[in-house]
Structure 1
Amino acid sequence: MFSGSIPALVTPFRVEPSGASVFDEDAFRAFVDWQIGQGSAALVPCGTTGEASTLDLDEHHRVIAACIDQAAGRVPVIAGCGSNDTRTAISHIEKAAKAGADAALVVAPYYNRPSQEGIVAHYTALAAVSDLPIVVYNVPSRTVTDILPETLARLADIETIVAVKDASGIIDRVTAHRLGCGADFCQLSGNDNQALAFMAAGGSGCISVTANVAPRLCADFQKACANNDLDLARDLNDRLYPLHCALFSDASPAPVKYALSRLRTGFPIASRLPIIECSDVAKAAVDRALAIAGLA
């Protein structure tokens, strides 16, 4: 259902004289236009990289609505709708559907550490309230809970659960998911540094951090993978790999916002506490990676 390079969009914040950080909608809308112009295949607002965990409910829904409005149907919008509280996730899905989202990205419930049966119950409850397609997001390094392949296979039987963003880091799960969920079930990588292997194993695309900074290169990489042009895909991956690593050389998305401030004049560098501006060591790593990628 989805394919190609799909940036998990950062959320730009403007720091007021009072010290408060507010959503910079103008910067965000310009960023959406740039992403589409650079070849991104879809957009994900309010994901992990979008600092969704620091947005209040009104801000969360405003960011999603602004993305949908600015995209204006040019590419699909997969709205971040996850929560560790099923009721809150339901509210996000209902608001996203009303705003015109094409799908909902729903992370496994974090902190609560539900059982596999609890995970099934969570996603079943979400699917029951809306026809909006759901992309399951498995990132056990952040949530602690791991959605096991046999659990995803059960979820894939639900009509509106159409895809997975797999950030488990376990490459052989692509094959396990193909066997359990079917070859037509959409698999999207959640780890840029594993995207080449993920695509070779049967993936459809990547919900990407690096695509925030290098959307054209990431789009070209995904196109090469789709065309089975392994030589080109490998060459592009070599250019991008240092950037994949550098963008996680400090707490994300601080290095991403630093990189964007280098590439886009006036792009806000601020994040919300507890994320602070990245270290000088991380900035140097980003600078080197941008040069290797040919971006700066």
Structure 2
Amino acid sequence: MFSGSIPALVTPFRANGAFDEQAFRVLIDWQIAEGSSALVPCGTTGEAATMPKDEHFRIVRVCVEQAAGRVPVIAGAGSNDTRVASENIRAAKEAGADAALMVPPYYNRPNQEGIFRHFEAVAGACDLPIVLYNVPGRTVTDMAVETIGRLADAFPQIVGIKDATGVLSRVSAQRAACGPEFVQLSGNDETALAFNATGGRGCISVSANVAPRLCAEFQAACLSGDYATALALQDRLFLLHTALFTDASPGPVKYALSRLKPDCPMHLRLPMTPTGDASRRAVDLALEYAGLL
């Protein structure tokens, strides 16, 4: 259902913290023109944790409206409260999203049965397709392969996963548990080459915010089996993949965009703060190395 380079979109904020709708629309048009195959608004990179619900789904609606059916929109909609997650997936559907990206409950640290029951309730609340998001580095909760397989088997609307575990053997394990049609998307740009080689179909990407065309070409090469071209692009992009995490995200990626698009407001909302000098130097070097500056 989903494949290729899918940016986890940043959200443009003005200096006073307000959402800049026009800048966001320009960013979306640029992403689509450069070859991104879908869009993820209001995820971690989009600073969704700083947004009240009304603003969150207003931003999703703006993304859907501007995409205008040219590419699918996968709305970030997770919560650690099952009732709120159920409300969020309904709000994502009402906003026009094509799917919802849903993390397991964070902070609460449920067991695997609790994770299953959480997604059982969310799937029962709305028929919108669901892409699971396993990111234990942020949620603390790791979804076991067996739980993912159980969910994929029980709920056909759970169509795939964004896997940010960094454990490459999980791609094969999840293929065995969920079947080869279950869409696996990398949540880590730097390992996307190996992820795709073992059965992945693309990446929900931070780097694609900055280098959408190169990331789209990389994913297209992987999908066509042209791993020589993919490796060359991986080499060109690798410094960028790592530089964008030399400080708390999305600080570095917003700094990178400010270098490429000085007229686009890329302020951050507290508790996120501007990236430090060492990170800025790493980002500048990576942009130059990739031929983006």
- TM-score between both structures, scaled by the size of structure 2: 0.99
Rounded to whole Å, the distance in 1 between the matches of 2:105 and 2:238 is 30
Opposite residue 143 of structure 1, the aligned amino acid is T
Structure 1: gaps (5+ residues): none
Percent identical pairs in the alignment equals 63
Distance 1:228 1:246 in 2: 27
Equivalent position SS for 1:15: coil
- Residue 265 of structure 1: CA displacement? 2.6
1:103 counterpart residue number: 99
Secondary structure at the aligned position of 2:55 is classed as helix
Q: Does 1:261 align with 2:229?
A: no
Q: Does the 8 Å CA contact 2:73/2:97 hold for their aligned counterparts? A: yes
Paired position in structure 1 for 2:245: 248
Give the Cα separation in 2 of the matches to 1:229 and 1:13: 39
- Tell me whether 1:208 sits opposite 2:208 in the alignment: no
C-alpha contact (below 8 Å) 1:138/1:165 kept by paired residues: yes
2:20 pairs with 1:38: no
Q: What is the RMSD computed on CA atoms of the aligned residues?
A: 0.6
* Cα offset, 1:90, TM superposition: 1.3
Say whether residues 1:88 and 2:81 are aligned partners: no
Q: Which moved more, 1:180-189 or 1:266-275?
A: 266-275
Is it true that 1:125 corresponds to 2:121 in the alignment?
yes
What is the one-letter code of the residue matched to 2:258? S
Asked whether the equivalents of residues 9 and 212 of structure 1 are also in contact (C-alpha less than 8 Å), the reply is yes
Query: Which residue of structure 1 lines up, in the alignment, with residue 11 of structure 2?
Result: 11
Which whole-Å deviations, capped at 9, do the CAs of 1:34-84 have from their partners, x for residues lacking one?
A: 000000000000111001111111111111010000000000000000111
Indicate the residue corresponding to 1:293 in structure 2. 290
Alignment check: 8 A CA contact 1:32 1:71 kept = yes
- How far apart in 1 are the matches of 2:19 and 2:105? 25
Deviations 1:205-248 (A, max 9, x none): 10000000000000000000011111100000000000000000
CA displacement 1:132-184 (0-9 Å, x = unmatched): 00000000000000001000000101111000000011000000000000011
Matched residues in 2 for 1:153 and 1:224: separation?
29
Verify: 1:228 aligned to 2:250, yes or no: no
**SS in structure 2 of the partner of residue 23 of structure 1:** coil
1:99 offset after TM fit, Å?
1.6
Structure 2 gaps, min length 5: none
Runs of 4 or more, structure 1, over 2 Å off, are none
Say how many residue pairs are matched.
292
How far residue 8 of structure 1 moved from its aligned partner, in angstroms, is 0.3
